[in-house]
Amino acid sequence: MLNIARWQIWTIFGITLFCVLLALPNLLPRSVLNHLPGWYAGNQINLGLDLRGGVHLLLDVDTRTVFRQNAINLTGTARERLRERGIQARDIVAEAGTVTVTIRDEAQGADALSVLRGLDATLLVERTSPTTFRLSYTEQEQARRRREILEQSIEVLRRRIDESGTKEPSLQIQGSDGIVVQVPGVQDPAELERIVGKTARLSFRLADIDWVPGSPVAASAVLLPTKEGWDAALRLWETQKRPEERELRAADVCRRFQVQCQAVRRAIIVGGEDLTGANATYDQQTSQPIVGFQFNTVGGRAFCRVTTNNVGMPLAIVLDDVVISAPRINSAICGGSGIITGQFTSQQTNELALLLRAGALPATLTIVEKRTVGADLGADAIRAGLIASIVGTVLVVLFMFISYGPIFGFFANLAMVVNMIMVFAGMSVLGASLTLPGIAGLVLTVGLAVDSNVLIYERVREEQAAGRQPLSALVAGYERALTAIIDANLTTLIAGLLMFGFGSGPIRGFAVTLSLGLLTSMFSSTIFTRMVLGWWLRTFRPKELVI
């Protein structure tokens, strides 16, 4: 078992060296990182809120109001579709997320049922009486839409909180209607609350095809940055912003920076309040990624009228004064829905659909919990965590040397070092945030890293006491201790995965470091040390094992 093939030795060394390279950016100074490629220098462990300081907010998302508004929009659509089929509705009432439709003529019940079922494939239509129908969504569909609302809210918040992409906020869904926002490095909670309270503004406008770049804009139009231009302006603004400036306004970008812009008409065809949904899908004929969108009755009529009269014109989709897309109107778009085609990738259609949904019927966000962590407290936490880590590591190193001698103690401590390097490499690749509980997980990982070697060494001692030769005792020690090592690590790993799945914030930080430490310790203590011990036995051929 200790005779390892040459290709396996090179593989183990290669994995170890690769992990060293991945963990190295965490130790290099900023002056060195600035000269390295961004994809490599960016592989660093982020400090969490409790270490870096910042603001923690728990937001309640009012999805109930959105569901009620969707039901109201559904009443208008149902009335319009029934009227088109010549079916007279006596009453259409929206209440608590459901819609009750009552028609006048019982003989038209079958036709009415067909029309109502055609409104939405996910809609559950029940005929409660010959002239009454109840429209509602299943629990699964409500859960999907609720999740969609939360994702839309997170996208809006992320765009507003981290416009420059440097603040590294953490936004996570909590429960069924909650969002946790953690922004490290922010010491002004009032400013963050103001940003959170803003509402996304989505609009559809015709582009001004008569405008030539560099020339003045007509009075009926306005110059707005494209998404690419906005991203470029943010990078320029970071280096040129004035001390009194708190944020960059999209309306000022084109005048101030030479970036890509688009002239659009001031008149808004349809606003975000009339958009009921958007989704990334595929064209049935070409299999190309496209974006589908749906309007309510009012928005559908306005959109149909404008697109009928402006076929061939580019249509600008504007979110918060930024032109996120400008597709061309290929044909009249009536019926309350349409598609956006282009040379899109699947990721681009998902992003565009999410941006469209982000401006549609935004839910009200209410702050239910607010915490501020000072930078001084974060520095104290780092200092205390470092002291605990150093003391714990030194004690473990001394214990291994005292218990198992200079040779086997050195091998166990070397495995511990390799294990910590692999943990830091894994956290860097995952972009995990290091929190105070995460430091506790690292301290625990130090003990877990040598735990497997303790089991192996004790088993070797037992085999040697039973009269086995050194090589035979080592082989038996590794073979017979492996089951106990796997059982111990697997049970702890299950606990770590449960903490990560059901916990949040600091609990997940602890679970990440603990789980990574368990997985990497299996490599460092059983594979890496077995290779080193095999080399030592073949090189020095000891007559007995001093362990």
Q: What is the structure's pLDDT at 160?
A: 66
Using the predicted structure, report yes or no on whether residue 481 has a pLDDT greater than 50. yes
Place of tokens 């040598």: 450
Confidence of residue 17 (pLDDT cuts 50, 70, 90): very high
Rounded to an integer, what distance in angstroms lies between the CA atom of residue 42 and that of residue 357? 31
Higher pLDDT, 199 or 179: 179
CA 327 – CA 204 distance, rounded (Å): 11
Q: Residue 222 in contact with residue 266, Cβ under 8 Å? A: yes
Which fold does the domain 203-367 belong to in CATH? Gyrase A; domain 2 (3.30.1360)
Say yes or no to pLDDT of 197 above 70: no
Euclidean distance between CA atoms 362 and 293, whole angstroms: 16
Which pLDDT does position 203 carry in this prediction?
82
Domain boundaries, the chain: 6-53+374-540, 63-137, 203-367
Q: Model confidence over 523-546: pLDDT tens digits?
A: 888 889 888 888 888 887 777 777
Q: What pLDDT score was predicted for residue 164?
A: 46
pLDDT band for 282, please (50, 70, 90 cuts).
confident
CB atoms within 10 A of CB 119: 17
Predicted local distance difference test score (pLDDT) of residue 438: 80
How far apart CA 121 and CA 123 sit, in angstroms, is 6
Environment class of 242 (CB within 10 Å of its CB; exposed 0-12, middle 13-18, buried 19+): exposed
Helical ranges in 25-165 per DSSP H: 30-33, 38-41, 49-52, 63-84, 109-117, 139-161
Q: Taking residues 333-337, what's their average pLDDT?
A: 81
pLDDT attached to residue 398:
93
**Confidence class of residue 324 from pLDDT cuts 50, 70 and 90?**
confident
Mean pLDDT, residues 134-147 taken together: 87
Assigned CATH for 6-53+374-540: 1.20.1640.10
Tokens (6 digits) for 307: 């697109």
Predicted confidence (pLDDT) per residue in 225-272, tens digit: 998 898 888 888 877 777 666 677 777 888 888 889 999 988 888 877
**Would you state the structure tokens that stand for residue 178, as one six-digit string?**
């909650």
Bridge-partner residues for 124, per DSSP? 136
Spatial distance between the Cα atoms of 48 and 44, rounded to a whole number of angstroms:
12
SS (H, E, C) 255-318: HHCCCCEEEEECCCCEEHHHEEEEEEEECCCCCCEEEEEEECHHHHHHHHHHHHHCCCCEEEEE
Mean pLDDT of the chain: 82
Q: Give the mean model confidence (pLDDT) for residues 431-457.
A: 82
- Give the other-Cβ count within 10 Å of 36's Cβ: 13
Rounded-to-integer distance, Cα 187 and Cα 497, Å: 33
Q: What is the pLDDT of residue 444?
A: 84
Mean pLDDT in residue range 38-45: 77
Token pair listed for 208: 């001004």
DSSP 344: -
Q: Which residues contact 373 (CB under 8 A, 6 or more apart)?
A: 49, 50, 53, 54, 55, 56
> Distance between the two ends of the chain, CA-based, in angstroms?
19
In CATH, 63-137 is 3.30.1240.20: yes
Q: How confident is the model at residue 2 (pLDDT cuts 50, 70, 90)?
A: low
pLDDT confidence of residue 361: 42
Q: Using the predicted structure, report yes or no on whether residue 474 has a pLDDT greater than 60.
A: yes
Q: Pull the structure tokens for residue 395.
A: 């004690």
Q: What is the mean pLDDT of residues 316-334?
A: 85
Question: For residue 133, what pLDDT is reported?
Answer: 92
Instruction: Kindly indicate the confidence band of residue 418, based on its pLDDT and cuts at 50, 70 and 90.
Output: very high
Torsion sign across C-alpha atoms 30, 31, 36, 38: positive
Other C-beta atoms lying within 10 Å of the C-beta of residue 414: 15
Summarised one tens digit per residue, pLDDT across range 337-371 is 878 776 678 877 877 776 666 554 457 778 888 87
For residue 166, the model assigns a pLDDT of 47
Average pLDDT for residues 118-140, to the nearest whole number? 87
H/E stretch holding 417 reads: helix 375-430
